[in-house]
Every structure is written in C-alpha cells, then in structure tokens.
Chain A
C-alpha cells in the first residue's frame, strides 16, 4: 500500500473545522482515531460546523464507518453541525441504516454491584427455593409412579426398553472393571494389616463384607451417576433447549410420565442387578490378591467368604443400590428439566446432576449406615 490513511484538520473560518480524509480507510490499516478531532474541537471554543471531506478516500470498509460514527457522536455531544462533503455515497447510506433503529437504551443490563450480605441473602433464598424444587420434583415423580401402578401413565414401552439396555448391559464393562479393582485394593490393604497378626485368611471377611454391604453399591452408584445421570441431564436439557418438552406439554403429555418415569424405573430396576454383579467382581478381585499369598487357596477363600457374608449384608447392599438408583435418576432428570435454554446450560445441568447424585449417594449411605448400626444389623 503506497500511502496510509491520513487525517488532516483545517480551519477555513473560526466557526468551521474541515476534516479531510485521504488514502485507504480500511480496518486494521492503522487508521487514525477521532481523538485528534475531539481534542481539536475541545480547544476551539465556538465551533459550529465540522465538514468531513472524503473525496480523497481511495478504498474503505467498516474502518471508515466506525470513524464516521464516532465523529458523529462527538458532533452530537457538542451540538455542532456535521456536514458531509463528498463522502462515499455507500458509506453515508450505511451509516443512515445504522442510525435508522435508535439504540435501545433501556435494553442495556444494569450491572449491579452486590454487597456480601445481599449475596448471602440471595444464596440463602436460592437454597430454600431449590430445596422446595427438589421436594416438588420428588412429589411429581411419586404421583407419576402411582399413576403408572394404576396403569394410566403415558410413556412408550420402547423408550423404557432402550433405557433398560443403556443402564444395564452397556454399563457392565465399566462396573466390572471398577469393582474388580476396588476388591483388589481392599484386599491389598487388608493383607498388609492382617499379616501382622498372621490372620491373612480374614481378608476374605474384609473384602466380602465391605463389597457386599457397601462398596459395590456405592461404586456402581458413582459410576452410574457419571455415566447415566449426566446423560439423562444432557438429554432432557437438550430437549428443553429445543422446546421439545414444551411441545410435549402442549400436547397434554406430562414430561414427568413420559420422560422421567421410564428413566427412574430403568435405573431403579437395574441398579440392584448391577450391584449384584459388582459384588461378584469385587470378591473375585479380592480373591486374586489373596491367593497370591501361599497360605491361602481358592477353596479356603471361598468358604471364608460364605461364612462371613450374611443375608442381611446382601439385603442392605441391594436396598442401598435401589436407593442410589433412584437418587441418580432423580438428580439427572431434575437438573435436565430445570435446564436453561442454551448449550452451556446443558453442560451445567450435566455437571450439577453428577454432583447432586454423588452428594446424595454419600449422604444416604451415611443415613443407612447409622440406621443399621442402631438396629444392630
């Protein structure tokens, strides 16, 4: 480019300022800013006209337009007439178009600064609100469940089938891997401690009871929270964004029955089966570590496990897994249904579904543990 864009200021008479533009006025080509004009205008007291001469402009694009727009603003602020002398016709008309719809002043959002107390108050109100939402959601789900028991709930059996498949068979590999490893880890740690007393065989008790009563359910719960709970939230959230849920509602189909119920049912039915499977894998994992010890063989380990693990343990484990299934499905569906209307809201919904589910799992484990120990079972 031979010459850069240039700006020249002249004052033919005391009331008039001429702004002459020359060269290519294109974005990013170091075009002059209006600061020079502004300071000149400030220094000249009794200016009445600014004449803009653009006859020497060779090329232009938005660069010229933003310069002119900002010049216009300066002139308007100082109540000086802005006169156009030979500006490119197209530029003039584009500026007119830009000014055709006045800027929505009230549209701009007020960025209010919150004090700490205000923040605290808001958060507290939000917290109680969300507790209320949770209760409401649980209530609605319960209503939908009762309706299903009486055979009046509307949902597609095919959907239930798909959900059953995705929370059972497709989850098997990851559940197997995790519980096998957890069984191994428990056995390793147990072996080291028990070896001090020469009581290595009791590692079977440790692994068996821990897995069957607690760990298998918790681990499947957490895996399913990440895998399925997050997916539920993302699915329902996307449906919310696309107004699919609105479309169901206007058809008179309850999203609680149509979307939430099958997911809830699917997880609550499949979780105990997954937990059972995880029990087996966990005990196997423990066994692999234990029979690495020359003093223990497979039969001993098996007999010791059978002796240690009672029916109560199994019952408590399976009961917990049903509870966890309901928690994971509830939090996934609830966060999905509460989702905002944008892609990032879907991401937030999935994240908070997983967090809610895991917190729920841990809290309910604590409650179950306290109850069972009070009851002495």
Chain B
C-alpha cells in the first residue's frame, strides 16, 4: 500500500492545504449499489448508489439523524442492508459468508462515534490488541508502533491511561489511533473532529490527508464540520433526511459551486444562503 516516490505537493509545512484534485488513477474500492437501509419497517434511506475510489477521502454528509452512522454500520459489516449491494473491489460484500466478510473487514479500521474504547484496558493496550491478534510483531515492535500511533494523534505520553481517565476528545483521538493500528487499507471515521479543539481538529485533517496521499489509504469520513469537508474531502455523498435518499455525490467544493439543490446549498453554507 505504500508508494515510495514522493507525492508532489506544493505545501511542505502543512499550511494552506488545498483540496486535492483528482487522484492519479481512479480505481473503485467500495461500490454501493441501489442500497436501502432500514430498521425493521422503518426505512432510513433508499436508492443509494455511489462509488468510493481507492485513496479517496470520502465524506458522508447530511443532517443529524439522516442515517450516516447506519450507513457506516452497513459498510463495515455490522448490519445488513434491507436491499441492494455493497462491493469491495469486485466482491459482493453482503453476498459473502461471515468468514469471508471478516477477511475483508479486517483490512479496515473503524473509529466509532462514541470512541468505543475498551474500558478495562489502557490506551496502549487498546491500540496493541489488534497488533497482537493479527501480526507477528515482537512486543518491543508493538510498543514502538503503539507509541507512533499515539504520537500521530497527539496523545504521546498517555499510553498508560485508562479511557475513563481522559477527556472525551482524547478518547476520540485514541479511538483513531486504534483504528490506524494495523495500517488498514480503509479507515472509517464517524465524526472524528466533533468534540476536538480547532487545532487538534486541524491536525487530524492533516493526518487524514497525509495517510490518504502517502499510503493511499481510503478514508470514509462522516462529518458535519464544513471546514473539514472542504479541506479533506475529495469525494462525498449527501444524504437528504427529508427525501430519504441521496441527492448528490462528488467533490464537495464542486458540489458547492454547481449545485442547484437548495437543501444541499443550505447545508454546505451553514444555512447562510437560501
């Protein structure tokens, strides 16, 4: 997954990061086809069709309660769709048996909306559990990886703390460190920057951009933060709660420039233009 030749990027110090333009070659990573999600008889969203390309920072956006977290649970195999398909590469994710699905999802890292850290383990143990389970690294190597990941989310030095001993925003970041533990091909983030201060949120955006550019990790990010959406997003889907379906997909900046849909326009401008 690492591509050695440095990616050309004008800014060096992490200032002025521009929305990335089209990725070199577009290779579909996840394809969602005609998807309907429902809880029992209650249909949350229907007719969803979009493609997430490898190396994309894909934003799932929409108002609160429109079904973004539900969409994520379907993409990561926790809840089956009422109708439609999800393809990872060319494999029909929900058509596979449980074991095959596990194999696919093991290559993904997930950060949950509430952090979902294991409360009986220290942060270091939280991050190292996936490494201990799925790699043959020595304890010393695992320790180094843990320290690197914790430093990447700005939590260096907090390895020995328990989740109940750190703040909500720190729990979120620790959740991100755990999601990144195995250098996954895909990272799912459910509202990563909610509850973070602006500087940490910005650093998180930088991290997301770096991972997607240098390791070509595909990022699927649920977020409401407009600043983030335009900074990191290379592609997106907009779920409209009132219509119960998606109304747009594409690069967020382009969507803002081109859309005629008043709901989407309202969303992308914080309701300032009608």
Contact = CB atoms under 8 A, between A and B. Distances in A.
Q: Do A and B bind each other?
A: yes
Given A26-B2, A60-B4, A88-B214, A102 B141 contact: no
Given A28-B137, A90-B210, A59 B151 contact: no
Given A90-B213, A109-B161, A342-B164, A96 B14 contact: yes
Contacts of B144: 66, 69-70
Looking at chain B's contact residues, the main secondary structure is: loop
A57 B4 contact: yes
Given A108-B157, A344-B120, A99 B2 contact: no
Given A27-B137, A65-B148, A100 B203 contact: yes
A91 B7 CA distance: 11
A90 B151 contact: no
A108 B124 CA distance: 12
Nearest to B5: A88
Contacts of B258: none
Contact of B4 (A88, A340, A341): A88
A93 B144 CA distance: 18
B183 interface: yes
A10 interface: no
User: How big is the A interface, by class?
Assistant: 35 or more
A300 B120 CA distance: 60
A90 B158 CA distance: 25
Contact of A66 (B12, B141, B213): B141
A27 B183 contact: yes
Contacts of B158: 104, 107
A58 B135 CA distance: 21
Nearest to A70: B144
A97 B152 contact: yes
B7 A62 contact: no
Interface of A: 24-28, 54, 57-62, 64-66, 69-70, 88-91, 93-94, 96-109, 340-345
Interface of B: 1-7, 9, 12, 14, 118-120, 135-137, 141, 144-145, 147-149, 151-152, 154-164, 183, 203, 206-207, 210-211, 213-215
Among all A-B residue pairs, the 10 with the closest Cβ atoms: A90-B214, A89-B6, A342-B119, A104-B157, A103-B156, A344-B120, A101-B154, A60-B2, A98-B151, A341-B164
14 contacts: A25-B2, A28-B137, A62-B145, A64-B2, A66-B148, A69-B144, A91-B214, A93-B12, A93-B14, A97-B203, A103-B156, A104-B156, A342-B119, A344-B119
